[in-house]
Amino acid sequence: MSLIRQMWLVVLTTVLIAFVGSFTVTVASAREYLETQLQVKNSDNAAALALSLSQQKGDSELMELLLAAQYDTGFYRSIRFRGTDGTTIERVAGRVEVQAPRWFVRLVPIESVPGVAQVSDGWRALGSVEVVSQVSYAYRDLWRGCLQAAAWLAVVGLVAGVLGNFVVQGIRRPLNSTVRQAQALVNREFVIVDEPRVPELQRLTRAMNGMVQRLQGVFDEQATQVDNLRREANCDPSTGVSHRKHFLTQLGLELEREDAPPSGTLVMARLFELARVNAELGRRETDRMIQRVADTLLAQAARAPGAWVGRLNGSDFALCLPAGGSDEDDPGAQMEGLLAALRAACTPFGPAQGVVVGAVAYRRGDALSQVLSHADGALARAEAQGLFSCVVQGAAPGEAAAGGQEAWKRRIEGALAEDRVRLGRYPLLDRDGALIHFECPLRLQLEPGGAFESAAQWLPLAVRTQTVGAVDLAVVSLALREIAHDGRPLGVNLSVSSVQDARFGGQLRERLQAGLAHAGQLWIEVPELAAVRHYGLVRELCQQVKATGARFGLEHAGEQLSRIDRLYEIGLDYVKLDARFVLGASEDAAVRNFVRGTVAMVHALGMQVYAEGVSSAADASVLWDCGLDGVTGPAITL
């Protein structure tokens, strides 16, 4: 039995005992009082009647008349005169209806004790008179009194119950708050509750709040450590941008991954004549100038979704700007603003200090060495032209830019309407080689009878034409149909644009409800960037998805995982580390340390951790030792 029920049982039992006890005492007292009054009345009336009879000198007729007159004036059950000579004069009432329930009469009997007095004529005894009063009126009064007492006691009991309810609720509220706080802790949420006024519960709440704050502090410390490990593994210690290996790894993956943007711009910035600058300004000022250049490039990257910055060597920086489906993706236009910002950053250090910039447009599928070679060539030509020169080597427009937005919108909508869609399947396996789920990127057949194109070919145009939400809903419906067909778990990804759409969450839930029997086998994930920029929307979408039994997670994670505000409150089931954070784990201890730290942090929040893009068996073996729950990539086969 719960504590609240026990308290209510105590309150109700106390009120009931008080009610029964008070009622019993009240009834017993009233009964005793009435019996006493009847006895006194009988005695007094018998004495008065005996005095009157004594004055009749023994005349039987006068005495009988007097008895009759007395009987008629009072509420008597019987009046009897017994003479010394054996004569008896009596008046006895017939059956009188009692104005009270029969069960009450049987339960609370009232005795009318006869009143007896001696009748005499001087010194001569004439006999005795006995008077017995009627009890029906006493029952009537006692019954009415009991009803009134019961009513008042019921009112008192009700008031006591109300007061008891306030007391119990005063205890229940802080207890419920503590229970919700503990449940929130189980759900990876850190909730602080107000302390109640009850001293004992106040101590309990204070201890729970302290524990929650301590756990939150541990998580924050762990997140900071993970971020430090990420910087150590992937960042240049002087400027905080990606070091050469990490930058080139990420660029290589960008050129190969099928869900990457189809094109972009690689920008290289070189501090002009760094050796001379170092001699003129000194080590400290040169480092300040280098940091200013890095900060400028980071600011440019922050304005371009998916962009990142790296330091290739002492004097060279690189900025990768993937095409985002915007009309402002022209490399020449982008370089004008960047060059102006770099000029402003370098001017305080003297007119002879600055940078040169070279840029090259690339397309997905280009070789990394070819892109770097073209960028180096553009940078060399810019350096030959002098300080703050910029050379942009363009690329021929691809097929994705042809035909205009309306034509692309019709092609995408036509493919969806005619169900010209297909899911790829790449296994995500656990340590024992068992299937966790298939990763299922969507492919569209844009032209009837044509090839099924990967997302890299049509996703930027789907974003621009605002059809990406319909595409994501189609992939969910297709996945549910395939699950219904073969029963295998499938994982699909949603775009950031869909997360931003206020209507998408409700539409997604409708699709999941329509296939509710198979939703438990569906894994839905969004990019880490969505949780960083749209935390509230991702949290709401997660709740809607999980309400149907499907699982929800983040993909391409690792860069900003420790920076996501209240990551523990989203309700994620799993996190997938991006390939660039696990590549080379078998050779680089810093990568392994970062993976171990991330796994420990995410496991502490009750989530699973998987690795994407594992390309070698050696990396996979080391990653298992780091505690990962599953891996996927070119090296993983079912």
510-550 residue pLDDT tens: 999 999 999 999 999 999 989 988 999 999 999 999 999 99
Q: How far is residue 307's CA from residue 324's CA, in Å, rounded to a whole number?
A: 10
Can you give the CATH number for the domain in which 261 is found?
A: 3.30.70.270
CA Rg, the chain, in Å? 48
Quick check: is 200 in a domain?
no
pLDDT tens digit string along 311-361? 999 899 999 998 754 445 556 667 888 888 999 999 898 888 889 999 998
In sequence order, the 6+-apart residues with CB closer than 8 A to the CB of 285 are 349
Domain final residue, candidates 109, 144, 159 = 159
Give yes or no for a contact between 112 and 77, defined as CB atoms under 8 angstroms apart. yes
Quick check: is 168 in a domain?
no
Record the tokens describing residue 244, joined without a space. 């050469």
Quick check: is 189 in a domain?
no
Helix ranges, 187-273 (H): 199-234, 244-256
Range of weakest confidence among 217-231, 300-314, 322-336, 562-576: 322-336
Q: Is the same domain home to 310 and 444? A: no
Among residues 442, 440, 491, 447, the alpha carbon closest in space to that of 470 is found at 442
Q: Is the same domain home to 320 and 414? A: no
* 3-state secondary structure labels for all residues of 560-594: CHHHCCCHHHCCCCEEEECHHHCCCCCCCHHHHHH
Query: What DSSP designation does 235 have?
Result: B
Q: How far is residue 374's CA from residue 311's CA, in Å, rounded to a whole number?
A: 18
pLDDT band at 4 (very low <50, low <70, confident <90, very high): low
Q: Give, for 444, the enclosing helix (H) or strand (E).
A: strand 442-445
Record the tokens describing residue 278, joined without a space. 């170092």
Q: Is the same domain home to 495 and 412? A: yes
Domain final residue, candidates 357, 372, 396 = 396
Among residues 505, 509, 551, 557, the alpha carbon closest in space to that of 531 is found at 557
Domain residues for the domain of 302 are: 235-396
Quick check: is 587 in a domain?
yes
pLDDT confidence of residue 210: 86
Domain final residue, candidates 159, 181, 209 = 159
In sequence order, the 6+-apart residues with CB closer than 8 A to the CB of 471 are 412, 416, 442, 444, 459, 462, 495
Choose the most confident range, by mean pLDDT, from 5-19, 108-122, 210-224, 387-401: 108-122
Q: Is the same domain home to 443 and 379? A: no
558 burial (CB, 10 Å; 0-12 / 13-18 / 19+) is: buried
Q: Is the same domain home to 505 and 443? A: yes
Q: Is the same domain home to 376 and 406? A: no
Quick check: is 26 in a domain?
yes
Q: How far is residue 115's CA from residue 129's CA, in Å, rounded to a whole number?
A: 8
Q: Is the same domain home to 467 and 375? A: no
Provide mean pLDDT across the span 22-49.
86
Q: Is the same domain home to 413 and 392? A: no
Strands 608-611 vs 630-631: parallel, antiparallel or unpaired:
parallel
**Region label for 214, one of left (φ > 0), alpha (ψ between -120 and 50) or beta (otherwise):** alpha
Q: How far is residue 192's CA from residue 213's CA, in Å, rounded to a whole number?
A: 8
φ and ψ of 364, to 5 deg = -60, 135
Record the tokens describing residue 382, joined without a space. 């810019």
Q: Is the same domain home to 387 and 429? A: no
pLDDT confidence of residue 396: 43
Quick check: is 230 in a domain?
no
φ and ψ of 84, to 5 deg = -70, -20
* Percent of the chain surpassing pLDDT 70: 95
Packed helices 404-417 and 455-464: angle between N→C axes, nearest 10 degrees: 110
Q: Write the DSSP string, 291-355.
A: HHHHHHHHHHHHTSTT-EEEE-SSSEEEEEEE--S-TT--HHHHHHHHHHHHHHHHGGG-TT--E
pLDDT tens digit string along 163-192? 877 777 777 778 778 888 787 777 667 778
Among residues 492, 473, 572, the alpha carbon closest in space to that of 531 is found at 572
Q: How far is residue 366's CA from residue 395's CA, in Å, rounded to a whole number?
A: 11
Q: Is the same domain home to 75 and 116? A: yes
φ and ψ of 392, to 5 deg = -115, 120
Quick check: is 80 in a domain?
yes
Quick check: is 212 in a domain?
no
pLDDT confidence of residue 397: 45
Q: How far is residue 286's CA from residue 354's CA, in Å, rounded to a whole number?
A: 11
pLDDT confidence of residue 98: 76
Query: What DSSP designation does 610 have?
Result: E
Among residues 613, 426, 618, 443, the alpha carbon closest in space to that of 523 is found at 426
In the chain, how many domains are there?
Answer: 3
Can you give the CATH number for the domain in which 83 is found?
A: 3.30.450
Q: Is the same domain home to 82 and 29? A: yes
